[in-house]
Structure 1
Amino acid sequence: MSLRKKILTTMTVFLCSFLFFSNVSAATFPDVPTWADDEISYLFNSDVTNGYPNGTFGTNDNIKRSEAAVMLVRAKKLDGGSTPAEPMFSDIRKGSFYYEAVQIAAENGFINGFSDGAFRPNETLTRGQMAKIISVAYGLNAKSGNYFSDIPGTFAEKYIEGLAANGITNGYSDGTFKPNSNINRVEFSIMLSRAMNDSFKVKPVDPVQDMKVHFLDVGQGDSTLIITPNGGTILVDAGSSSSGQKIVQYLKSAGIDSIDKLVATHAHEDHIGGMLEVMQNFEIGEVIDSGIEHTSQTYINYLTHIDNNNIPFKVPSIGDKVTIDSEVDITVVNSGEPGDDLNNSSVALHLVYDSFSFLVTGDAEEDKELKMVNNFNIESDVLQVGHHGSITSSSDIFINEVSPSFAIFSYGEGNSYGHPDSRVVNVLRNQGADIYSTAYNGDIVLTTNGNSITFNVNPWATEIIPLPEPNPEPNNSININTADYETLLLIKGVGPSIAENIIDYRNRYGHFRTIEELDNVKYIGPATIEEMRPYITI
């Protein structure tokens, strides 16, 4: 049982007859995902389809041949015309609710029976059969071009090509169409609505094109969109909750209508806060999650939406491959393991496309970086710098092994954590990497053909950043309630991890009321408090 199933109970759907009318509007179907609502509403308002008597649409139910015939005849507005007096098929009885529709669809050549004289009204429709009946009904002619790797030689090849050439389908991101797989009610409805109404059509994806990596400016957080050469889409993180609307608008402006892989590197709010809004606006193929739980309401809301909408959910193991595009090799080089805290549970991905390589590590810290170094070849042209440039990540050994030519920092200007740390910026600059920053550059777009790399902006022209001064004299006390990250590092006994933990504690619980309250901060004990005491005040 998956992690989300351990936390949440799956909503069950009572299955009823397909064609009974229900007094609801399409927008009220609780099981229709947001990404399909416009198409279902259009069909509902066009009297092509209706929900079940219990108020649901039956989104994930496989569609039957008889149901498809009824929808198609209604879509073509052929119901009510002349119907052959006698049944055309041995298993179609007069008086059945689909009798007229099946007869009319067959008479018009949209859908045929079988060689034994049967129609098989309750048999499930396959994707290939769907392609044939829609392509024939709407006269969709194929154009020359390479569409899907698994259709050559199949009976439905020319019909599937007709759908692809006319904006009805783009198939799957791995370059297949899966003609022998069953098709469910919502998928059939979307294909039919696109045939009926040009406004729903999709732009065909070119067989091979450049790969793009978009580093979105979401303030203090991370969100990275990867578009593979064959049009596969991966969104790694979605910033904080305040970033959700910006990310949705950005994706739509980029022509994205679905996300094949939605990767939550880990459960902190600045990485998953915007995911709920993203999931409400796009079809999601699969969520990839670190598997390490969090108690925040943001995390619970994220899991609840995944569960209620039956979105496939995977916790990868280290070494797993992410399959999305035959042109691209993606390896999971870190994921959640028992005993990990949230940062170290971060899903880290190493992506290789021809000669190009890219590494994203979430907030994984130094000990996990060393595991990556020991277990994988992580040399990369481009590094999305870990933990927003915190000193807890980007160790010297790690940076030497990655040896990036380009480094991307994602953080909010003036953040209280002091990101990026000057030491990290200096290490990468000394490595010879060109530095880019979302706080400085805004949205950053990388384009590569697998060999050359270009960016839409110029590098961040920062100089080597001076390091903090050594610890102050005891009589120059630092206020632990107001000091920023860099200032906290000046306190004797305080390192990068403790400085971040102090800020996290203040953000959660407010100001320290006594110095002794520091004992509640992770990594601070009585001995550390006594070491700090001469240098601090509240």
Structure 2
Amino acid sequence: MNKFSNKRFLYSALLVLIAANGFIWHAILFGSGTENLGLYFLDVGQGDSELINFPGDVQVLIDGGPNTKVLEGLARALPAQDRYIDLVVVSHPQLDHFGGLIDVLESYKVGAVIENGRKGTTAAYADFEKTLQENGVRRIILTEGDKIKYEDATLSVLSPNRKNLASKELNDSVLVMMLEKSGLRALYTGDIGKDIEDELLKKYDLSAQVLKVGHHGSRFSSSPEFLKAVNPVISVIEVGKNTYGHPTPAALGRLADVGTQIFRTDRDRTILVDFDGDKLRVYLKKLW
């Protein structure tokens, strides 16, 4: 049995949804919220960008969406005087995940960039590498089994392995990461599809209260078996206007079948999941 199944009612009961309100967001973002763990899912259009804000204002940014829109989200998630991001993670070298990081590197001081070691082949990726070099940013390659630790928090890399990195399918090489802190687990899946989901199912306890839904809600991701294993209380789909039909009715239906609360950046805009060590609260910013 999923070890979080007995807590589903508790977490669901504690879920607080707050619609767009400038005063509330100012209090959450710039008040005492830094004592809590903040999981931001930034509205970057059709792309991915997630910010983990640890107590003490230590930040990990996972992906940066396709363009400069990520800067708008960061400007609202971080105090104006905070121009330092400790770690930036590139889940895989696709434009809708790394494109905005060029602007992040030019606007913020970045401690290091975490990558999976697979190189992109586009002109945009060449620009990204050039920006890294010009700003003297340290590059670190992580793959399956590696961990990032900060105080009582751990970010574990569940994938890719060597086979995944050599796959012709670029999405198979995604850095899949599980965040664990004070009983909270959050799973970041990038653009993985069912094949990688099946691999993960065989290797890991995937149970997590928070799920970043794979591949913008593609019909080729979020299999019933995978979602049953994760059993998320909160599921966030990073998606914008697109021609792919994301999120697909099939993926939305499978998410609904496991009883998770579904949030979408195309409708809810930037989403903050706040965790104080006991309660999960979700704050929505629908109006910029």
Query: Which residue among 183, 186, 189 is the counterpart of 1:361?
Result: 189
Task: Give CA-to-partner distance per residue, 1:306-333, whole Å, 9 cap, x none.
Answer: 123221111112011013x212121001
State the 4+ residue runs in structure 1 displaced beyond 4 angstroms. 251-255
Q: Find out whether 1:214 has 2:78 as its counterpart.
A: no
Q: What CA deviation, in whole Å up to 9, does each residue of 1:277-301 have, x standing for no partner? A: 1011111111011221221111111
Q: 1:375 aligns with which of 203, 212, 216?
A: 203
Q: Distance in 2 between matches of 1:225 and 1:248?
A: 8
Measured against aligned partners, the alpha-carbon deviations of 1:380-431 in whole angstroms (never above 9, x if no partner) come to 0010101000012111111111110110011013x10100011111111110
Instruction: Say if 1:222 and 1:237, in contact at 8 Å, map to a contact too.
Output: yes
From the superposition, tell whether residues 212 and 245 of structure 1 become closer, same or farther in structure 2 (CA, over 3 Å). closer
In 2, are the aligned partners of 1:248 and 1:281 still within 8 Å (CA)? no
1:242 is displaced (CA, Å) by 4.2
Which structure 2 residues correspond to residues 103-114 of structure 1 after superposition, within 5 A? Answer: none
The one of 110, 115, 119 equivalent to 1:293 is 119
* Structure 1 residues 275 and 436, CA gap change in structure 2 (3 angstroms): same
**1:61-140 to 2 correspondence within 5 Å?**
none
Counterpart of 1:430 in structure 2 is 257
1:235 Cα deviation from its structure 2 partner = 0.5
Which whole-Å CA distance do the structure 2 matches of 1:327 and 1:408 have between them? 24
TM-score by length of 2: 0.82
- Counterpart secondary structure, 1:351: strand
Instruction: Describe how 1:185-200 pairs up with structure 2 within 5 A.
Output: none
Instruction: Select 2:228's aligned residue among 400, 414, 424.
Output: 400
1:345 aligns with 2:173: yes
* CA drift at 1:217: 0.8
* Residue 264 (structure 1) aligned to one of 90, 98, 103: 90
The 5-angstrom pairing of residues 455-470 of structure 1 reads 455-457=282-284
1:390 to 188, 193, 218: 218
Q: Which amino acid aligns with 2:272?
A: V
Residue 252 of structure 1, CA deviation:
4.7
Q: Which has the higher strand share?
A: 2
Amino acid aligned to 1:269 = L
Give the structure 1 partner of residue 108 of structure 2.
282
| Cα distance in structure 1, aligned partners of 2:74 and 2:256 | 33
Is the contact between residue 40 and residue 51 of structure 2 (CA under 8 Å) also seen in structure 1? yes
Which runs of 5 or more structure 1 residues have no equivalent in the other structure? 1-204, 460-538
Describe the superposition over 1:467-490 as per-residue Cα deviations: whole angstroms up to 9, x where unpaired: xxxxxxxxxxxxxxxxxxxxxxxx
Q: In structure 1, how many angstroms separate the alpha carbons of the residues matched to 2:285 and 2:41?
A: 14
So what's the TM-score if we normalise by structure 1? 0.45
- Decide whether the 8 Å contact of 2:214 with 2:221 is kept in 1: yes
**AA in 2 matched with 1:270:** D
Instruction: Give the number of aligned pairs.
Output: 252
| Cα separation, partners in 2 of 1:450 and 1:335, compared to 1, 3 Å | farther
Residue of structure 1 in register with 2:49 after alignment: 223
Q: C-alpha deviations, 1:25-62, integer Å up to 9, x for none?
A: xxxxxxxxxxxxxxxxxxxxxxxxxxxxxxxxxxxxxx
The match for 1:335 among 129, 146, 160 is: 160
Aligned-pair CA distance for 1:250: 3.4
Instruction: Look up the match of 1:310.
Output: 136
Paired position in structure 1 for 2:148: 322
1:114-147: CA deviation from partner (whole Å, max 9, x where unpaired): xxxxxxxxxxxxxxxxxxxxxxxxxxxxxxxxxx
* Per-residue deviation, residues 133-175 of structure 1 (Å, max 9, x unmatched): xxxxxxxxxxxxxxxxxxxxxxxxxxxxxxxxxxxxxxxxxxx
Unaligned runs of 5+ in 2: 1-30
Q: Between Structure 1 and Structure 2, whose CA radius of gyration is higher?
A: 1
Q: Take 1:399 and 1:450, find their aligned partners in 2: how far apart are those partners?
A: 24
Cα distance in 2 between the residues matched to 1:349 and 1:440: 25
The answer as to whether partners of 2:157 and 2:178 remain within 8 angstroms in 1 is yes
Q: What SS does the corresponding residue of 1:369 show, helix, strand or coil?
A: helix
One-letter code of the match for 2:52? I
Q: 1:458 to 1:452 in 2, by over 3 A?
A: farther
Report the secondary structure of 2:172's partner residue: helix
1:446 maps to a residue whose letter is V
Deviations 1:44-91 (A, max 9, x none): xxxxxxxxxxxxxxxxxxxxxxxxxxxxxxxxxxxxxxxxxxxxxxxx
Greater RCO (Cα-Cα under 8 Å, separation 6 or more):
2
456 and 345 in structure 1: CA distance in 2 versus 1, 3 angstrom threshold:
same
Task: Tell me if structure 2 keeps the 8 A contact 1:291–1:336.
Answer: no
Alpha-carbon distance in 2 for matches of 1:373, 1:451: 28
Instruction: Report the Cα distance in structure 1 between the residues aligned to 2:90 and 2:142, rounded to whole angstroms.
Output: 11
Aligned to 1:449: 276
